[in-house]
Amino acid sequence: MHVNENVKCIRTQVAIVGAGPAGLILALLLQKEGIDSIIVERQSRSHVETRARAGLIEHHIVEFLQHHGFSEGLDLNGIPHTTCEFRQNGRRYKIPYGDRVGGSHYVYPQQFVVQDLIRLFISRGGKILFSHPAVKIEGLEDNLPVVTCSYQDDDSRNLLLHIQADYLAGCDGFHGISRSSIPITHVKTITKQYGIGWLAILAEVPSSTEKLVYALHKSGFAGQMPRTSQITRFYLECPPSDLSSDWPDDRIWSELDKRLAVEGDNKLIHGPIIEKRVLNMRSFVMEPMQYKNLLLAGDAAHIITPVGAKGMNLAIADADVLSQGLIQYYRNQDKSLLKEYSNIRLPHIWKTQEFSDWMIRLIHHTADTDENKYQAFSNRLRQARLERLQQSDTYAKLFAEDYVGLWKP
Ligand code: APR
C-alpha cells in the first residue's frame, strides 16, 4: 500500500460501510459486546437523519429493538397498527389483522429510527465518519480486507483513509460499493422488474383515517399511510418512466381523490406536498450475501418493493444474524455461524419476497402482462381475494402473520 502525507491508516475489528438501519444496528450490537467497529458513511449526518424512507416496523423487530434497549423513540412516538383497509369500486374491506394473530406493527418513520440509533451509538462512544465515502475495497483474497474512504479536511484538501479490519460489513445500500467488490463469478443475482411505478408523496396533512389504506382502482393503485399526526405518505401507481415533474400538485390531489374515493365520509385533507419521487417496483437478491471476510446486509444484498414495507425490517434482521456470527467469532474464535450467515438469512428473505409479490398482484391490475387483456377477469379475482380476506379466518391469518411480521422461519 502506498503511503504519503495525504493518506492515513487506522485499524478496527469490524469496518462497517453505511450508516443506514443495517449498519447502525450491527454497530450497536457489536458495541454491546465490546467489539470495536467504525462506520464510514458517504453522506453528512444531517442528510441521513432527514432522509424520508419507509416507516412500518414489524412486530418481532419492535420486540427486538425493545429487548436491546434501542427503542426509546419508538416507544414514545411509534403508533401501533392493527387494522388496514382495502378499497375497490368504492367499497371498503376492513381487515383487523392484529386481532387475527394477536400482534401489531408500528408506524415510525425510518429517519427517526436512524436518528435514534446514531445518537445512541455515539453517546456510548461509537465512531461514525460522516462524509467519508468508501471508494475502494481491497485485500479480500488474502483475508486482509481494507476499505479506503475519501474525505476533505478543514482546508478542503482531498485526503484518503485506509481502514484495515478483520471483517467488512457492506451495509451501503443498493448503490454502495461493497456488492461490486465481490467477483461476479462468485455470486448470482436474481431480479424482477414489475413494470410498475409508484409516485411516493409526502404531504403535510393529517391522514383522513388512522388506518393504512390500499385502494385498487382502474386508473391504478393508490395508498394512504399515516406517518405522524401532521404528515401523511401517499402513493399513486404510475408508469415507472414518469418523472415527478409530470405530477404537479393539482394532478396528484385530483388523482388521489378519485382513486381513494369510498362510501361514507372520508374526504382527503389537501395541503402542501413536501416531497414526491417515482419508485420503480423491482426486486433483487444476491446469493450468497458474503465473500471471504466481506458480509453484506440490507439493501446492499437485496432490494424488495415497498409493497408490504419490509425493506428496513429485513435490513435489521440481517444485522442481527450477522452480529451473532461476529460475536461467536470474537468470543470463541468460532467462524461456523459466520459461514452460515447467507444460508440462515436467504430463506427468510425469499419468503418475504414471496409475500411482497403476492401483495403486488393483489393491489395492481398491471402486475401481470396479460391482465390488460383480461381486466374484467382479474378484477373479479381481486374482489374474490378481498372478500376471502374478510371472511376466512385461515386466509386472513396467513396474511396477518406476514403483514405484521410475526412469522419467522
Ligand atoms: N460509502 C459509505 N457509505 C455509503 C456508500 C459508500 N460508498 N454508498 C452508500 N452509502 C450509505 C448511504 O448513504 C446510506 O446511508 O450507506 C447507507 C445505506 O443505508 P440504506 O440505504 O438505508 O440501507 P440499509 O441500511 O440496508 O436499510 C434498508 O433502507 O432504502 C431503505 O427501503 C430500504 O427501508 C430499507 C432500508
Write down the domain spans for the chain: 7-55+110-187+288-355, 82-104+194-282+366-404
Give yes or no for residue 63 having a pLDDT over 60.
yes
Tell me which CATH code domain 7-55+110-187+288-355 carries.
Answer: 3.50.50.60
Residues 244/199, Cβ–Cβ less than 8 Å: yes
Can you give the pTM of this predicted structure? 0.94
Higher-scoring residue by pLDDT: 2, 142: 142
- pLDDT score of 408: 67
Distance, CA 176 to ligand 1 centroid (Å)? Answer: 7
**Among candidates 328, 325, 267, 275, which has minimal Cα distance to 296?**
325
Q: How much of the chain exceeds pLDDT 90, in percent?
A: 83
**Other Cβ atoms closer than 10 A to 361:** 17
Q: Which of the residue ranges 94-108, 157-171, 366-380 has the most confident prediction, judged by mean pLDDT?
A: 157-171
Q: Which CATH superfamily is domain 82-104+194-282+366-404 in?
A: D-Amino Acid Oxidase, subunit A, domain 2 (3.30.9.10)
CA 165 – ligand 1 centroid, Å: 20
Nearest residue by C-alpha to atom 10 in ligand 1: 172
Predicted pLDDT of residue 370: 59
23 lines ligand 1 (CB under 6 A): yes
Pairing type for strands 146-152 and 158-170 reads antiparallel
Cβ–ligand 1 contact at 318 (below 6 Å): no
Cell of 248: 404537479
Question: What's the gap in Å between 172 CA and the centre of ligand 1?
Answer: 4
Specify the pairing of strand 84-88 against strand 91-95. Answer: antiparallel
Asked whether this chain's domains 7-55+110-187+288-355 and 82-104+194-282+366-404 adopt the same fold, the reply is no
- Determine the Cα–Cα distance for residues 319 and 302; give it in Å rounded to an integer: 13
Q: Is 40 in the pocket of ligand 1 (CB under 6 A)?
A: yes
Q: 54 in ligand 1 pocket by Cβ < 6 Å?
A: yes
